[in-house]
Structures are given as C-alpha cells and as structure tokens.
Chains A and B, each alone.
Chain A
Amino acid sequence: MFFQHYCWTAVSDPCHKEKELSLPCKLIVKAVLPVFRCANVLGRNVEKCSISTSPSDHHITFQLLCKHGVVKTYNLTFQECDPLQAVFAKHMCPNILKVHSRLLADVMIHFPTSQEEITLSVTPVKVCFKSYTEEDTDFSRTMVTEIHLSPEEFDYFQVGVDSEVTFCLKELRGLLAFSEATGVPVSIHFDRCGKPIAFSIEDVLLEASLILATLCEAQKEADSQERCCPQQWGSSETLPDKPSGDEPNSTDISKNPQRDGNAPTSPVAKQEVKSIPRVTGRDVTGRAGTPTAEAAGEATEAPYQKFHSLFFGAVSHKEKDATGHTFQSLATASDTEEDLGPLQSSPVL
C-alpha cells in the first residue's frame, strides 16, 4: 500500500533450494542518504521514485524522476547478509507506554545533544526521564536533568513492575524524528533493567521497531539508597531464579574468582563491602560492552545480581534474607557502610 507498484520476482537459485527466496542485503547508510537528501526539496522536485534491484551484479537502483524532466539515477552496491533478529518478546513486557512522538521529542530536547544515555524510571504513579551519569562523573561539572511525567500524559499506560532502565538516547533520536515525520505514536515496551527496551511505531503503511539493550542498574541503586525501591532488588524476586539446594552466597562467592569461598574474615569482608557494588555494576557493564551489545538478561548474570542484591539487602536491613545466617559475617562489615559513599573505581575482575 505504501508503494504505487511493488513487484517481487523470486529468482530461484538451484543450489540453494532450501534457502528462503528473499533478498537480505545491506547498504551503507551513508551511500543511501545523499539520494534522499533535503526532504523538503524532494517534495517539491521529485515526482516519482522507482527502486529496482539487479541481484546478479549486486546493485540497487534508485531512480528519481524530477521536475523539468530531470532524471537522477543512483546505482548503489549492496552486500548480502544474514539479517539479525533480536530475541525479544514485546508482548511479554510488563510495562507498556504509548505516547505521541511530539511529547517524547519535547522531553528529549531538554537533554544536551551530548547526553549519551538516559534513564527511564516508572512506577504506577509516575514516569521519570533522567540523565544517566557514570559513577566517576564530576558532579560539580555536570548538568543532570530530570523530567517527571504523570501517567495521564500517555495515550496508554501500563506499569506491571517498577523499573528503571537506562538506554542510549542518541539512537532513539533517529526514531523519534521518523515518528514525528509520520505522525504515528510511539509504543515503549520494557521490563526491568538489563532487559531490552523496544520503541516501536506501527501504522497501516509501515512498522518500525528499535530495540535497545539496557544497562543493569545494580551499581547505581546501591549507591543511592533513597532512590532504590527495595522491592525490585528483593531476594524474593531474584532468588527463585537460582537453582535450589545451593547456598547462594558460597556458590556466588566461588563463582567470583577474586572472592574467598569461605565466610570471609573481617578485613576481607571490608574489602568486599567496598568493592562489590562497584564490581557488580562494572562487571555487567564490562560484559555488556556498550549497551547495544547486551541482550536479555542472561542466566550467568543472575548470580552477580543476586549476590549483590542479597548483599545489599543485608546492608540496608530493609528486608529479610531467606538465607540470612551465612551473610552475617558480611553484614557485620556494615559498619564500613560509610565507606560505600565515595567509591573509587577499584580495579576489578
């Protein structure tokens, strides 16, 4: 429906009968952009655009028929590729927000263009967008922005689980611009942090999805106790993931090469007290690399999250640990809690 004329001729390849007869290919975006430069000029000058392919010599041809009989032909080479598919089930996300792109654009305008990552934090009564800052940011030189929205601002608002997800803002801006151009509202599907967040627009004519990985917020929440909702980190939530029968702490400690498997003595405990929140956060970040590299939370991460959350639970005394007693030696190190404040970037795993 989007096209005036759409013709797909499957060229059967005798050697690859079992392969799907489609043409997965990729083009360099920088090569395609100049073809459609100056959208407003295009609207005035271009009467028709025809796109054709010739798979044999790996070309896609864009032909623009313009005013005054001028014809622009672009022959761009493409590469065949295996398309990537994000393993992500949108319909299983507990949190769904739907909003007009204008609102999101108005929110994003308040963040500096250099802002790489932002955090979206939701509760059933509030939505908050804030800038994400690294641990070691010099706050005296940083501007931190926070925008609070009420659920009424959204066309659709569903929050199944309170969460705080951090994702790359720069990549979202492109989709927002596209959405504004098409006038279609944006749907946001997400879960807890560490799980991907999906921004999508759907229309009769087109469908676009942007799936971004999110950072694990473990480290941030340990530092800012006031902001954290213990429920998220409750061992009640994370423990069930763990295979039953094992003592979480000892197993987790043993998984961590730097830690002593036994109940640590006080000095060691102190060291762990200091380094754990840092380590866990860093560890996850390190493994994730950039947020885009990370997919849905893996099982291997769970122990570190759990370990951290259990530890946090012990320190904050905000909840009961199901496997409490083995943590007591660690918990006794809570007298060094004040050391948690100004955490240094300790060299970790």
Chain B
Amino acid sequence: MPFSAPPPASGEPYVLSASLDNARHLSSLLRAVHFQDHATCFATASGLRVTVEDAKCIQANAFIQAEIFQEFAVQEESVMFRINLSVLLDCLTIFGTSSLPGTSTALRMCYRGYGYPLMLFLEEGGVVTVCKINTQEPEELLDFDFCSTKVVNKIILQSEGLREAFAELDMTSEVLQITMSPDKPYFRLSTFGNAGSAHLDYPRDSDLMEAFHCNQTQTNRYKISLLKPSTKALALSCKVSIRTDAQGFLSLQYMIRNEDGQICFVEYYCCPDENITEAEL
C-alpha cells in the first residue's frame, strides 16, 4: 500500500517522489545492470533511467517508465544523481529476495534535490523500513550516439535462443566475436578459448529470429568480460535486439516483461575491442 509523502520540513517539495506497489518491479531491473557498485539515476517526467558504466567501454541502462509506478512526480525538468547501486539494491530487497505469491514490498522513494540523500520507505506485512542513501555528484556519462539512422545491421531474436549460449560462453576466450551478415553464417557468435574455438550460428530463417535486417557483413570483437554481465538482462527478457553501427559499436536492447505484464527495457552498449581492426572469420 503506497504511503502518502511525509510533510516536507521546509516546505520544499521533493524534486522526485515515486510510489511502487511492488518493489520487485524496480529491483529486478536494477539487478540486470548491476555490474558495478555505482550508478547514475536520471529522472524525468517520463520515468527513471539508471545507468552503469565500466572501463569507458560499456554502458548499461535500465528504463522504468513513469507508468510502471503508482505515483511518479518530478518537479524539475530532470533530476540526476549518482548513487551506490549495491546499497540501493540491498535496501530494495531488505525484506528478502524470495518472491512469495501475494506478498510484495511496497516502496516510496523521495529525493529532495542536490545534496540530499535518497529516501526509501519500504513496507511489507506491516513492517516499515526507512532508508537514507547518500547521493553523489553525477559523473559524465558516455554517449554512444547510437541512433536508428546509423544502424548497419539489426536482428531481433527471442531470448530463449540466446540464453543458453550466453550462459555457456567460453570465458577463457578474451573476446566475443559477433558476425552479422546478409549471407551465411547470417548471425554468428564466436569465442576463441584455451581449448579451441566455438561458433554459434543462427540462420536467418530460424523461428527464433523475429526480425533480420542485415545489409553488410560485419565482424566485430568485444571484450567478453564486459559483455558477460548482460546475461542477467538476457535471462529476464523475452526478446533482444542486436544492432551494430558503422564503427562496430554494439547495442543490445532487452525487452523485459514484469510480473504484472508491463514492459520495461534494459540496454547495453559496447565498444568494439580496439586491438582488433580486421577480425578473421
């Protein structure tokens, strides 16, 4: 049951206030991008975006639209702060992570603005927890400049086809090589590990393939350690769109359906491995 906002001390409204009947709708998405301790939260009237980056090469974004929340109000044009994602997740799941049917943790989130901590009110079964998490100066985020006009190759696959593949990736390989082509092998994931190479081919006419728009043969390599965390997002999702642009930048967009059937998105952007300019097939 959502709380009504506690009366503000100095009459200032909260720049961000949100209520959510089921905190899992938020925590599961945040877990899908949790590969670093810190995240940047960016809230606008349309919703909340949580961004995690690593090595200036990879960026993951979790989008939770305003419609997912029971209440979502942003007073300024946008609100941005950096926060410890591990702590935030621990708080959101303070009543435990097991999902018993019928029980859910209710959440109210309030943020007064720059310099103030993020306040979380969590309630389950009559028990209330109040958390105050310090916020930090937001850092500059990478802009992959990935817009649909620059996309060279695009594939939409059903996640079930990729889940096993990603979970079983040969981690002794330094790179994950992705080949997308209008000709054979159409879509290929390759690793080059200690024991040898492994290739996973998806034909364009496979029933897992929802959309296949490849104009050019492209082979790009990405550091496997950077992409491995995306497996969490893949596990939650029902569909994934894989796009590359002319420079080999990779965009993975995961469509995730939550317990109530609402749709959210998580996306991963990754730079190609600079050491390799021309990868051999």
The interface of chain A, by Cβ under 8 A from chain B, is: 27-28, 30-32, 34, 37-38, 41, 45, 59, 68-77
Q: Which 9 A-B pairs have the closest CB atoms?
A: A31-B195, A76-B196, A69-B206, A73-B199, A71-B201, A69-B203, A68-B208, A75-B196, A68-B206
21 A-B pairs within 8 Å (CB atoms) are namely: A28-B195, A30-B195, A31-B196, A32-B195, A34-B170, A68-B161, A68-B202, A68-B206, A69-B203, A70-B161, A70-B201, A70-B206, A71-B203, A73-B201, A74-B197, A75-B197, A75-B198, A75-B199, A76-B196, A77-B195, A77-B196
Query: Does residue B164 face the partner (Cβ distance < 8 Å to A)?
Result: yes
How many angstroms between the C-alpha atoms of A271 and B136 in the bound complex? 77
Query: Does residue B140 face the partner (Cβ distance < 8 Å to A)?
Result: no
Contacts of B206 in A (CB 8 A): 68-70
Closest chain B CB from A89 CB (angstroms): 36
Query: Does residue B207 face the partner (Cβ distance < 8 Å to A)?
Result: yes
Add 19 more A-B contacts to A31-B196, A70-B200, A70-B203 (CB < 8 A).
A27-B195, A31-B194, A32-B195, A34-B170, A45-B164, A68-B202, A68-B208, A69-B202, A70-B201, A70-B206, A70-B208, A71-B199, A71-B200, A72-B200, A72-B201, A73-B199, A74-B196, A75-B198, A76-B196
B150-205 at interface with A (beta carbon < 8 Å): 161, 164, 168, 170, 193-203, 205
Contacts of B202 in A (CB 8 A): 68-70
- Size band of the interface chain B makes with A: 10 to 19
How many angstroms between the C-alpha atoms of A75 and B173 in the bound complex? 13
B204-225 at interface with A (beta carbon < 8 Å): 205-208
Contacts of B207 in A (CB 8 A): 68-69
Contacts of B197 in A (CB 8 A): 74-75
Q: Whose C-beta in chain B lies nearest to the C-beta of A27?
A: B195
Contacts of A69 in B (CB 8 A): 202-203, 205-208
How many angstroms between the C-alpha atoms of A37 and B170 in the bound complex? 12
Q: Which one of A28, A37, A59, A73 has the greatest number of beta carbons of chain B within 10 Å?
A: A73
The answer to whether A59 touches B205 (Cβ under 8 A) is no
Q: Whose C-beta in chain B lies nearest to the C-beta of A78?
A: B196
How many angstroms between the C-alpha atoms of A119 and B199 in the bound complex? 46
Q: Whose C-beta in chain B lies nearest to the C-beta of A30?
A: B195
How many angstroms between the C-alpha atoms of A41 and B160 in the bound complex? 13
How many angstroms between the C-alpha atoms of A45 and B208 in the bound complex? 13
The answer to whether B168 touches A34 (Cβ under 8 A) is yes
Contacts of A28 in B (CB 8 A): 195
How many angstroms between the C-alpha atoms of A73 and B195 in the bound complex? 13
How many angstroms between the C-alpha atoms of A342 and B164 in the bound complex? 57
Q: Whose C-beta in chain A lies nearest to the C-beta of B189?
A: A72
Closest chain B CB from A25 CB (angstroms): 13
Contacts of B200 in A (CB 8 A): 70-73
Q: Which one of A30, A41, A75 has the greatest number of beta carbons of chain B within 10 Å?
A: A75
Contacts of A73 in B (CB 8 A): 198-201
Contacts of B203 in A (CB 8 A): 69-71
The answer to whether A72 touches B198 (Cβ under 8 A) is yes
Contacts of A76 in B (CB 8 A): 195-196
How many angstroms between the C-alpha atoms of A56 and B35 in the bound complex? 43
Closest chain A CB from B234 CB (angstroms): 15
Closest chain A CB from B79 CB (angstroms): 44
From B161, B194, B196, give the contact of A59 (CB < 8 A). B196
Contact mask B232-255 → A, CB, 8 Å, 1/0? 000000000000000000000000
How many angstroms between the C-alpha atoms of A75 and B197 in the bound complex? 5
Contacts of B198 in A (CB 8 A): 72-75
Closest chain A CB from B44 CB (angstroms): 39
